[in-house]
């Protein structure tokens, strides 16, 4: 009988049978399925299979966590099911076909904006703080801001715009770079294309609505307007994909000997021309259409109905960068009527999206990684800058975005229905009430309460059902995984590395190396990498950080080689990708070393595996060499997990973290 005969049969049955499997592959720890109908998978029963450590769905893939022995399980499963396993790339492609068009668009946007999120969060907080010191009139009966009465804060207000402009006005540079990075083309060409969209030679896009004359490039028989696309998302995305298409086309058809000259030249120049002659004007036409519809709606007899629609769609409009077109309408209303009913709706939409993030923060209060994005995104959103919240949280999970849109629509109806007007464009968040005409304070306050409460409640209710335990930061292990394969480790409280010294004799040889390995071969694990050792809870992957595979530590590497942390036998390797290795010590202690997160997708590019299954290694022998630059260029964290997946006969295991480790010398775990 095969080792996993019973479990394989159960998994095939509970996952919906052979007919429900489009594709299947595996990585170092997980079976990766693309299912025809994910609803047919009985997650509760799958989690009860005794070798299954957990399940989750990501990017259209249904992933079942098995552990170090996943390769054997996979072989038995595919043989019993009578299906052919496929490559991981094929699984990813199949997963995309399992998603709706909207899901694929959202997924692509998410992948494009993921590398930009840290900048958006930083810029959002900077602009939020800038709004507080320069846009809110706290002093002299509401006529002056902090920047108006203090030269220091006036200077700070001006200085901070250097960062704000770089993040938001010059956003097309980051977007085009991210597209070329995602599509595997030349990133510097993407940066240059992005710079041509925001060049100071062009008329600033924010000044187009009020400009009396727009400069042009005159080619004799036709002209192109010299307009910048500051803050524009749609134009940048379309231009980026034009460049990607051209570069891939010329790489395919150009001889290698002249490709270094021909490909960049023939890709960049047409891409810049198309961006300004075709793509850019399309973006402006879309913006003009939005401005026309908004103005028509504000002057119609059914303004309350328009308010509902505008409140609903404003957040997605922000994600395109076309929301700046409304500034011209706001300015026109202020100049002609002495106030604007449009801007209060914008402020309410921002508040609503911030409230969705607040609910996500409550739901994910135990998920430290998620909170690193949730908290600053919520703060900046409530201070009037929504991009960090939209791209960093709400778009990622989708349902918070929709819940925020619903709350915004209801709040907008209240605002317009009760005639709320603002004196002018103000801070688009909670402090925005200071820009409202005093006679409408109570009406706007009611709308604000709705914009806070409704999205929060909706997001909280939906999130309770849709978020997995790992996304919430809860450790949720199935009953079958609590046996010998799941170690019960005592985590050291040491954060400064003071406990990392071995408990007995330590000598140093003439080269300065630690000579204690022989004394402690069966008592310690030494760092397999040089770098910063962090608690496993800080790993940027929920399977590791929630200890589903077992307890351990993470290492932020400074080097490029993984060494054996102890004398051991190589139990398992990922021969095709080379990104992970499993070791077994003499006492049965099992260790998994996994370089980077989701690096299986790199298909071995940047990895060299120095061992094979069954090899015997000594402490300090090289296991894997990798390229941190290639891992980062592929968009993956380089953080490496060192997981104890089985404790064998080891007792009183203690993990040490918080110190700077040296490969082969610094102790990261002790045991008896």
Residues catalogued as catalytic: 27
| DSSP of 195-234 | HHHS-TTSBPGGGGGG-S---EEE-SS-EEE-B--TT-SH
Q: How many whole angstroms separate alpha carbon 635 and alpha carbon 653?
A: 34
CA atoms within a 13 Å half-sphere pointing along the CA-CB vector of 574: 31
Using an 8 Å Cβ cutoff, are 412 and 340 in contact? no
Q: Of the candidates 126, 128, 134, which has an alpha carbon nearest to the alpha carbon of residue 157?
A: 134
Using an 8 Å Cβ cutoff, are 547 and 470 in contact? no
Q: How many whole angstroms separate alpha carbon 182 and alpha carbon 634?
A: 7
- Tokens representing 257 are 């000997």
Q: Residue 456 phi/psi, 5° resolution? A: -60, -50
619, 621, 626, 632 alpha-carbon torsion, rounded to 10°? 20
- Tokens representing 60 are 């259209």
Q: How many whole angstroms separate alpha carbon 125 and alpha carbon 109?
A: 22
Q: How many whole angstroms separate alpha carbon 301 and alpha carbon 438?
A: 25
Using an 8 Å Cβ cutoff, are 523 and 658 in contact? no
Tokens 């009953």 — which residue?
Answer: 479
Number of C-beta neighbours around residue 262 at 10 A: 15
- Tokens representing 104 are 């694929």
Q: Of the candidates 541, 538, 532, which has an alpha carbon nearest to the alpha carbon of residue 636?
A: 541
Q: How many whole angstroms separate alpha carbon 106 and alpha carbon 60?
A: 12
- Tokens representing 331 are 């300015």
CA 469 → CA 52, 193, 548, 611, distances in Å?
16, 42, 11, 36
Q: Of the candidates 358, 323, 564, which has an alpha carbon nearest to the alpha carbon of residue 428?
A: 323
Using an 8 Å Cβ cutoff, are 311 and 420 in contact? no
Pairing mode of beta strands 531-535, 660-661? antiparallel
Q: Of the candidates 85, 23, 28, 67, which has an alpha carbon nearest to the alpha carbon of residue 607?
A: 28
Side by side, which strands form the sheet with 61-65? 21-26, 30-35, 61-65, 54-58
CA Rg value for the chain: 28
């Amino acid at each position: 009988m095969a080792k996993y005969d019973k479990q394989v049969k159960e998994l095939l049955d509970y996952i919906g049978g052979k007919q429900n499997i489009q594709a299947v592959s595996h990585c170092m720890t997980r079976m990766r399925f693309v299912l025809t109908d994910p609803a047919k998978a009985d997650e509760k029963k799958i989690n009860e299979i005794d070798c299954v450590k957990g399940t989750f769905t990501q990017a259209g893939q249904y992933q079942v966590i098995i552990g170090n022995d996943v390769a054997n399980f996979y072989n038995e499963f595919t043989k019993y099911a009578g299906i052919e396993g496929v490559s991981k790339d094929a699984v990813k492609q199949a997963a995309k076909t399992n998603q709706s068009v909207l899901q694929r668009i959202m997924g692509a946007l998410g992948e494009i904006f993921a590398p930009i999120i840290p900048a958006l969060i930083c810029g959002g907080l900077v602009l939020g703080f800038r709004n507080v010191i320069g846009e809110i009139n706290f002093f002299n009966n509401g006529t002056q801001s902090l920047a108006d009465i203090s030269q220091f804060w006036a200077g700070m207000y001006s200085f901070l715009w250097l960062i704000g402009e770089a993040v938001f006005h010059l956003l097309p540079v980051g977007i085009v770079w991210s597209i070329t990075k995602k599509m595997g083309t030349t990133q510097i060409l993407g940066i240059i294309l992005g710079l041509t969209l925001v060049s100071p030679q062009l008329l600033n896009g924010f000044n187009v609505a009020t400009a009396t004359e727009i400069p042009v490039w005159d080619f004799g028989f036709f002209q192109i307007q010299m307009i910048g696309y500051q803050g524009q998302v749609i134009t940048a995305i379309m231009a980026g994909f034009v460049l990607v298409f051209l570069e891939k086309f010329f790489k395919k058809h150009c001889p290698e000997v002249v490709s270094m000259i021909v490909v960049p030249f023939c890709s960049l120049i047409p891409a810049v021309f198309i961006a300004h002659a075709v793509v850019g004007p399309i973006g402006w036409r879309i913006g003009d259409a939005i401005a026309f519809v908004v103005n028509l709606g504000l002057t119609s007899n059914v303004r309350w109905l328009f308010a509902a629609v505008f409140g609903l769609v404003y957040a997605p409009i922000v994600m395109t960068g076309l929301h700046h077109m409304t500034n011209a309408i706001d300015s026109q209303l202020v100049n002609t009527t002495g106030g604007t009913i449009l801007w209060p709706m914008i402020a309410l939409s921002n508040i609503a999206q911030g409230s969705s993030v607040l609910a996500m923060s409550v739901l994910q209060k135990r998920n430290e990684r998620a909170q690193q994005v949730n908290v600053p995104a919520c703060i900046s959103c409530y201070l009037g800058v929504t991009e960090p919240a939209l791209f960093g949280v709400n778009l990622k999970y989708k349902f918070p975005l929709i819940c925020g849109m619903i709350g915004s629509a209801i709040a907008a109806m209240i605002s317009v229905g009760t005639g709320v007007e603002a004196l002018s464009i103000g801070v688009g968040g909670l402090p925005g009430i200071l820009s409202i005409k005093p006679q409408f304070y109570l009406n706007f306050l009611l709308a604000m309460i709705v914009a806070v409460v409704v999205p929060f409640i909706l997001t909280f209710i939906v999130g309770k059902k849709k978020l997995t335990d790992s996304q919430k930061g809860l450790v949720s292990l199935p009953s079958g995984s609590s046996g010998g394969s799941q170690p019960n480790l005592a985590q050291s409280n040491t954060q400064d590395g003071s406990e990392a010294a071995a408990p007995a004799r330590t000598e140093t040889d003439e080269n300065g190396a630690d000579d204690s390995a022989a004394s402690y071969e069966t008592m310690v694990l030494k760092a397999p990498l040089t770098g910063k050792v962090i608690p496993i809870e800080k790993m940027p992957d929920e399977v590791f950080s929630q200890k589903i595979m077992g307890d351990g530590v993470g290492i932020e590497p400074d080097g490029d080689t993984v060494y054996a942390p102890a004398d051991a036998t190589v139990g398992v390797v990922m021969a095709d990708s080379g990104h992970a290795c499993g070791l077994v010590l003499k006492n049965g202690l099992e260790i998994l070393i996994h370089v980077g997160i989701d690096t299986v997708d790199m298909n071995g590019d940047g990895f060299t595996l120095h061992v094979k299954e069954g090899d015997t290694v000594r402490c300090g022998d090289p296991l894997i060499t990798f390229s941190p630059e290639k891992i980062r260029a592929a968009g993956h964290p380089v953080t490496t997990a060192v997981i104890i997946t089985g404790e064998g006969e080891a007792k009183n295991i203690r993990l040490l973290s918080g110190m700077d480790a040296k490969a082969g010398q610094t102790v990261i775990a002790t045991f008896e």
